[in-house]
């Protein structure tokens, strides 16, 4: 894995909030050592990233360029990038049967409540997205801080990512 970035796919149900936040944050924080994507198990027709997710990222200084909602089917084909690690970030996607992933990547589950479900003023709803982004960044910072030798095999990567589930 040393000759290329560690490819990480974040999965959620609709690919509009948590997985989008994780994709953008890891690409921002990973400094080329990691390459992140996100996808959903069942994105709605014409699904777009939640505007409050995009606003939370922008307020944190993280680029939103190129972010879009995608189906996990986009990453299961022979022409898709080879994933090293797949992380589910919502309980719905964690319980679903995932497609076959070429190369048998490491997997982990980092569950977060859906900030899209928070009701209240726009400020309160934005705060929920910012809270989720902050929680994701904490785990991503720990993942990024792992020594390179600690994540150079699938089993080591899986153990490391799963250990971060309780962080």
Active site members: 12, 90, 98
The answer to whether 69 and 20 are in contact (CB under 8 A) is: yes
Please provide the DSSP assignment of 111-145 as one string: ----GGG--S-HHHHHHHHHHHHHHHHHHHHHHHH
CA gap 16, 39 in Å, rounded: 9
- Length of the chain in terms of residues written: 167
User: 3-state DSSP call for residue 80?
Assistant: coil
CA distances from 67 to 5, 28, 91 (A): 19, 13, 22
């Amino acid at each position: 894995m040393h000759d290329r970035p560690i490819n990480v796919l974040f999965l959620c149900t609709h690919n509009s909030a948590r997985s989008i936040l994780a994709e953008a944050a890891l690409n921002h924080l990973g400094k080329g050592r990691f390459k992140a994507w996100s996808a959903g198990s069942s994105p709605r027709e014409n699904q777009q990233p939640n505007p409050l997710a995009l606003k939370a990222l922008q307020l944190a200084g993280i680029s939103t360029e190129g972010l879009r909602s995608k189906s996990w089917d986009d990453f299961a084909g022979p022409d898709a990038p080879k994933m090293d690690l797949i992380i589910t970030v919502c309980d719905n996607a964690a319980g679903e049967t995932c497609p076959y992933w070429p190369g048998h990547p490491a997997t982990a589950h980092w569950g977060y409540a859906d900030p899209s479900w928070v009701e209240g003023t726009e400020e309160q709803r934005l705060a929920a997205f910012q809270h989720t982004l902050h929680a994701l960044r904490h785990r991503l910072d720990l993942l990024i801080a792992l020594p390179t030798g600690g994540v150079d095999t699938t089993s080591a990567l899986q153990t490391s990512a799963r250990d971060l589930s309780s962080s």
